[in-house]
Amino acid sequence: MATELVKTEDFRTDDLRTDEMIINMGPQHPATHGVLRLILTLDGEKVKHVEPILGHLHRAQEWQGQNRTWFQYQALIDRVDYLSGMFTSWAMARSCEQLDGITVPPRAEYLRVMVAEMNRISSHLLWLGTYLIDLGAMFGFPFYPFREREKLLDLFEEISGQRMMFNYIRIGGVHRDPKAEWFQKVRKFTEEFPQRVDEYEAIVTENPIFLKRTKGVGILKQSVAKDYGVTGPCIRCSGIPLDLRRTKPYSVYPELKFDVITYDKEGDTWDRYMARILEMRQSNEIIKQCLDMIPAGEIMGKKQMAGMRIKAGEGFAAVESPRGIIGCYVTSTGGEKPFRFRWRNPSFCNLSVLSELLVGSPIADIMAIFGSIDVILPDVDR
């Protein structure tokens, strides 16, 4: 006798017992961009509550800021946000220059902007590659953005000696002056880059699977974002055009023409993806303008010595990194070591909004939402 298939509507559900499940999205996970532990309370597939547990990557950078000399500490902070090390150095340099009254020469300012925008492009390229892997597109897509990223890392290696932890932007200026060939290579990169971004967009932007996974997912309301102190592309996609390069311009940004990518609505994950693609194109334009406008001259405003000191006082300075506002609050007593270095990292503040965004969404959306906030864990834990 052939058994008949039981129809779904004939299942008895009155004796089913449902319960919430607590699952660890453990510290080791290929998609959390670092070591982040998420304790998820799930009802079936829907997330009821999420608690991020931080601190696995805590390396005591603020303690180091009290116990290392000014010269030593500059080399340590690149490692905080390793994908955008130039910006962390720049925040420290700006805050110390403000306190000490050092003027940075114009050539150094242009070099800073150029390498910082190159760093922004390389950070967004890595974000793009890993985001697609998080969503499951493991067919080798990241090797496309990494092709451009390798060119940028070669340029960084020429100018600073390092591929990632540059230690290039120092207090008072920049470390080395590149040769003339370096500028030609950067120009060649900027000429080829828009075409490459078109290639990435051709694969991703109109892709129906990508659209289904990211449209309407993870809508960040403006009031929630303001309450949590979100900055960077996430807040610009929720309707508030806060970009430090335009609202509180520093360095030579007032002389450069570029658009601030902002959407006048409550942004979802697809908007945040698109904003980063457009920001890469804008950064390309900024680099082209800097190449045309860079003057000759010195690159260091005050000679750096191993026992350098900064005048007494306190101050706060911030720059716009690919993730948001990275700020540095420094207190000095004029001694050989800083008194207090407090870092305001964008990933720390943006990650706190995760507990609001994930509630009610299925597990598959966790990675889509988390990846679109663009969090780097060493930046969270310092």
d(CA 163, CA 187): 19
Residue with smaller CB distance to other proteins, 183 or 316: 316
Please state the closest distance from residue 41 (CB atom) to other proteins, in A.
15
Residue with smaller CB distance to other proteins, 215 or 342: 342
DSSP β-bridge partners for residue 187: none
d(CA 332, CA 309): 9
Please state the closest distance from residue 116 (CB atom) to other proteins, in A.
20
Please state the closest distance from residue 131 (CB atom) to other proteins, in A.
24
Please state the closest distance from residue 340 (CB atom) to other proteins, in A.
5
Report the side by side order of strands in the sheet with 340-344: 313-321, 324-332, 340-344
Please state the closest distance from residue 69 (CB atom) to other proteins, in A.
13
d(CA 136, CA 368): 10
Residues that bind other proteins (CB under 8 A): 54-55, 58, 60, 62-63, 66, 98-99, 226-229, 231, 235, 240, 242, 247-248, 311-318, 325, 327, 329, 331, 333-336, 340, 342, 344, 348-349, 352, 381-382
Residue with smaller CB distance to other proteins, 2 or 306: 306
Cα R_g (the chain), whole angstroms: 23
Residue with smaller CB distance to other proteins, 105 or 229: 229
d(CA 321, CA 24): 31
Residue with smaller CB distance to other proteins, 100 or 148: 100
Residue with smaller CB distance to other proteins, 104 or 125: 104
d(CA 348, CA 376): 9
Please state the closest distance from residue 241 (CB atom) to other proteins, in A.
9
Q: What are phi and psi of 273, to 5 degrees?
A: -60, -50
- Within 321-362, residue ranges assigned H as helices are 346-351, 354-357
The token pair at 61 is: 């950078």
